[in-house]
Amino acid sequence: MNTSDYQFDVLIVGSGASGLSLALRLPESLSIGLIAKGPLNEGNSYYAQGGISAVLDAEDSIDSHIADTLDAGAGLCNESVVRLVVEKGPENIQWLLREGVSFTRDHPRGKGYHLTREGGHSHRRVIHAADSTGRELVTTLEQTARERPNIALFECHNVIDLIRDSRPETGDDRCLGAYILNRETGRVETFSARFTVLATGGASKVYLYTSNPDVATGDGVAIAWRAGCRVANMEFIQFHPTCLFHPHAKSFLISEALRGEGGKLLLPDGTRFMHKFDPREELAPRDIVARAIDHEMKRLGADCLFLDITHKPADFVREHFPTIHARCLEFGIDITKEPIPVVPAAHYTCGGVMTDRFARTDVPNLYAVGEVAYTGLHGANRMASNSLLECLVFAEQAALDIKTHIAETSHPSTIPQWDESRVTDSDEEVVVSHNWNELRHFMWDYVGIVRTNKRLERAKSRINLLKHEIRDYYGKFHVTNDLLELRNLAEVADLIIRSAQRRKESRGLHFTLDFQKRDDRTQRRPTILIPDNFNPDHVLGE
């Protein structure tokens, strides 16, 4: 047992909305290590286009926002958590404004802010910065974080595993920090901390087509599972209905706000179709819209469908959607004059590491905040723009809990060092890329928008073989970033498949042809998976 390379009061793994806002909400007297897998702003939060949902209009209400969230969640939301998050929405928007985040106003010189409406919302309550809210939020908070002397930033560092001392003789069963790969040097570094926070985002890179950046490989869910944390509702993967379909676009997201401002979905012949699937048409929740598009594409054998906003004035489109307009122009598509080719793509992980109201996990001194966590807010389907709100609220909750308990929590006295004495450099890296491609293809084919028992069985058989091969490879060779991501993706894929096999109904984002009806009699509860090393003495409270 030796000392660590780095020691902090709080170690935050992840640099999106959750990680940055938590770091800035903690006292400046605490030393904070902030880990980013790539550049500080490379994550899902940065690419969030739509905005943040909060009750900011006099005609809206807390109860209405709660009701909409519960409806979208299809009976699986934790209502007390929903109320907590919604009630704290307005004050968190005020905190962002104080931090300098600039939102779009109603008029250039107006005092009020423009609120848009997205799928599942009964009112306009999504505050935004044009169509690049995430970029504005992350860039602003990043600048402040870089100016804070108590925050040490570690870019291009990838977490490998958490350090947990659970030996009975020590009597100190808690998270002690993490082993982290310095991607620039290739060296594994040991970080110890009084508190560790996972803010690593989602896992949508487990699928072939996704709106997510390359870093969204489910790292936090996988390492928390290996450390002994339960996970819940991993079968509920949200597929965004509208990503740009173009061979060079790399799954560029077309914000739901475009439909909120009147965009219409069209078949290749120009006819509308959403009225056949839901009375809310284009503003139905995302699971309904994604399945409708998937159904029509398969029925017609079409490569894509189309989203049209050409009936709006060109100046309106350019003003409200400057990023989408500019990006589409790069591919020769003028959205003021022609419809946008779109396809569904994996977008958001509604399940994750189980946490309580203060973001605490099953492992003492370990927290999970944001998309990596299962809080009970989203249930079987996330309502649009509730995700950034969840990041902000639970970052605040975690900060409150850490401040409450910091004085009674000591630094780890000893830390086991990373041992790589029995591994060598790999001479067959091609195995990693082959397995990565195979994994993402069969997850898309068998565990995608529409599932069946047979497809899930095939996927489970494939993932069992793949995990065995990856485990053998991992034990023999030095770790690399690609290997770590593949290992985590395989773990998360297995959790998604196992969760989907347990749910014998269709609800929210989980749709299976073998059980096409919703079953509120026997299935109205979260799907909880328990790891072999789970400690029942650490059951979460409310």
Q: Which of 441, 421, 427, 434 is nearest to 493 (CA)?
A: 441
User: DSSP characters for 202-250?
Assistant: --GGGSSSBSS-TT-S-HHHHHHHHHT--EE-TT-EEEEEEEE--TTS-
Q: Which of 190, 152, 136 is nearest to 6 (CA)?
A: 190
Which ranges in 100-168 belong to alpha helices (H)? 133-147
With the CA atoms of 523, 529, 535 and 536 taken in that order, what torsion angle do they form, in degrees rounded to the nearest 10? 10
* Radius of gyration of the CA atoms of the chain, in A: 22
Report d(CA 395, CA 392) in Å as an integer. 5
Report d(CA 492, CA 159) in Å as an integer. 15
Q: Which of 196, 48, 37, 210 is nearest to 127 (CA)?
A: 48
Which ranges in 271-410 belong to alpha helices (H)? 286-300, 314-320, 322-330, 386-405
DSSP 431: H
Q: Annotated catalytic, 360?
A: no
Report d(CA 255, CA 243) in Å as an integer. 8
SS3 319: helix
Report d(CA 311, CA 506) in Å as an integer. 36
Cβ contacts of 326 within 8 Å, gap of 6 or more: none
Tokens of 406: 């910091």
Give me the catalytic one of 194, 286, 462, 507.
Answer: 286
Report d(CA 198, CA 313) in Å as an integer. 44
With the CA atoms of 71, 368, 251 and 437 taken in that order, what torsion angle do they form, in degrees rounded to the nearest 10? -120
User: DSSP characters for 491-510?
Assistant: HHHHHHHHHHHH--S-BTTB
| Catalytic positions, written as ranges | 286
